[in-house]
């Protein structure tokens, strides 16, 4: 093993691969198992000699432990490089294959399909950012649909389009094992959403699906909502930046209201107005499973904030609310303070970038001491002065559950910021969240 490590690091000394290839313990990558090894090369050109060395390492059954993770990012690997690695992976022990931004093309994707078909160990496949179009997905998705071992599929940032959604839908509808699907920024549009609706309606293994930035619009959201209405397993759903607007909310609200498994919903940057937020707040008033909701970069305003406070003050499931950059203003923030004072289950609030002044900060401070579950509040980039910061720090000192107060970008001194950081760092050290001296 030592010889192998030295040889690959020697290859890293080439001008095109300075500091590039790493074989290291698989820690904090996919799980806590530190008995496996990882090959990782990021943002460095890979030539044929290095590919040969990687293939040698992947196929070497005498290594102890074996190479099980291959993580390559932006290396200009191309179709031929992918094919060479895939030939080795078919009989190797790779469990996590991460090939990102490497332009592997149809030929490379076809070779990966053979790995999916033949490998006895592959569970995580991440091919994000490879510009894969529908033709490149056809064979690969057939293999994915047939796999009984694959758990994670990452295709974000590819050129799938509506036609690609047909192949993806067919694969995921059949898949018995996939739990995590990353399909952000794939250019599906409303037509693609119509095909993907079947995945939500019929797949019973997927727990997480990320559909961020696919230009679904109200029509596409309607299709997805119909599928979601029949889903009984999904826990995390991201529909951020999809141009849903208020027009798409009636269908979505009905689907969300009926879900009993969803725990995390991301609806950021969808062009909602206060009227739409009022509709959404009412729909989730008595929801029993959604714990985290992200509404940042929508226009909530004071009216939307009032609806959120009125509707969610008795919701015992919600613990994390993200309202960053939602034009709350100080009046809106005061409504959120009212929510915090009445809902003892809230743990986290993000209110950054909302033009919150000191008077609103003081009302938030008044609510914090009795918020028994509260841990985190983000007030970055607002208009809070030293008086408001002092009120917040005093409130945090009275509530031992709070471990984070973010006030960067406000009208406070470095001395006050340092005092806040020091107070909460000591608390996090005592709680075992931070290590001493970090």
The pLDDT value given to residue 427: 87
| pLDDT at residue 36 is higher than 60 | no
Q: What is the mean pLDDT of residues 245-261?
A: 97
- Residues shown for the chain: 438
| Cis peptide bond upstream of 65, omega within 30 | yes
Helix (H) or strand (E) holding 89: helix 78-89
pTM: predicted TM-score of the whole model, two decimal places = 0.90
Q: Cα–Cα distance between 180 and 133 in angstroms, integer?
A: 21
pLDDT tens-digit readout, 95-133: 999 999 999 999 999 999 999 999 999 999 999 999 999
The pLDDT value given to residue 10: 30
pLDDT tens-digit readout, 150-173: 999 999 999 999 999 999 999 999
Q: What is the mean pLDDT of residues 24-35?
A: 40
Would you list the DSSP string of 339-373? HHHH-TT--EEE--SS--BHHHHHHHHHHSTT-TT
* Chain mean position to CA 149: 22
Q: What is the mean pLDDT of residues 48-59?
A: 94
Q: How confident is the model at residue 431 (pLDDT cuts 50, 70, 90)?
A: confident
Residue 297 Ramachandran class (φ > 0 left, ψ -120 to 50 alpha, else beta): left
The pLDDT value given to residue 6: 27
pLDDT tens-digit readout, 61-87: 888 889 999 999 999 999 999 999 999
What share of the chain has pLDDT > 90, as a percent?
86
Taking alpha carbons only, the member of 277, 268, 333 closest to residue 300 is: 277
Name the 3-class secondary structure at 17: helix
The pair of structure tokens assigned to 345 is 């289950």
The pLDDT value given to residue 436: 52
Considering only 95-104, 353-362, 411-420, which range has the smallest mean pLDDT? 411-420
Name the 3-class secondary structure at 423: helix
| pLDDT at residue 438 is higher than 80 | no
The pLDDT value given to residue 437: 47
């Amino acid at each position: 093993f030592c010889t192998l490590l030295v040889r690959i690091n020697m290859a890293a000394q080439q001008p095109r691969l300075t500091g590039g290839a790493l074989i290291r313990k698989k820690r904090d990558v996919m799980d806590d198992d530190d008995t496996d090894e990882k090959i990782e090369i990021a943002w460095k050109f890979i030539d044929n000699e290095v590919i040969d060395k990687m293939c040698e390492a992947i196929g070497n059954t005498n290594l102890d432990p074996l190479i099980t993770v291959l993580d390559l990012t932006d290396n200009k690997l191309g179709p031929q490089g992918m094919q060479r690695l895939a030939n080795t992976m078919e009989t190797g022990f790779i469990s996590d294959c991460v090939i990102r931004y490497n332009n592997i093309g149809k030929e490379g994707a076809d070779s990966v399909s053979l790995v999916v078909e033949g490998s006895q160990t592959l569970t995580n496949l991440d091919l994000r950012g490879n510009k894969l179009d529908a033709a490149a997905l056809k064979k690969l998705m057939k293999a994915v649909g047939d796999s009984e071992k694959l758990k994670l599929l990452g295709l974000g940032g590819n050129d799938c389009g509506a036609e690609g959604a047909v192949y993806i839908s067919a694969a995921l509808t059949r898949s018995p094992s996939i739990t995590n699907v990353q399909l952000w920024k794939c250019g599906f549009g409303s037509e693609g959403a119509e095909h993907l609706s079947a995945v939500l309606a019929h797949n019973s293994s997927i727990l997480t699906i990320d559909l961020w930035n696919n230009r679904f619009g109200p029509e596409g959201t309607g299709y997805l909502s119909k599928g979601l209405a029949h889903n009984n397993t999904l826990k995390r759903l991201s529909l951020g930046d999809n141009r849903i607007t208020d027009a798409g909310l009636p269908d979505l609200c009905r689907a969300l209201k009926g879900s009993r498994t969803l725990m995390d919903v991301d609806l950021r940057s969808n062009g909602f107005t206060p009227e739409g937020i009022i509709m959404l707040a009412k729909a989730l008033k008595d929801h029993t499973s959604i714990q985290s909701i992200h509404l940042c970069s929508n226009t909530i305003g004071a009216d939307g904030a009032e609806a959120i406070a009125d509707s969610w003050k008795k919701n015992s499931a919600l613990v994390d609310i993200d309202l960053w950059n939602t034009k709350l203003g100080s009046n809106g923030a005061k409504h959120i303070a009212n929510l915090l004072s009445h809902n003892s289950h809230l743990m986290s609030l993000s209110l950054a970038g909302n033009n919150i002044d000191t008077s609103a900060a003081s009302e938030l401070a008044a609510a914090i001491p009795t918020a028994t579950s509260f841990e985190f509040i983000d007030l970055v980039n607002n208009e809070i002065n030293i008086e408001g910061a002092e009120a917040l720090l005093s409130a945090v000192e009275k509530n031992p559950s709070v471990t984070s107060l973010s006030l960067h970008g406000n009208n406070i001194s470095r001395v006050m910021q340092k005092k806040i950081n020091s107070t909460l760092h000591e608390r996090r050290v005592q709680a075992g969240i931070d290590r001493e001296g970090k």
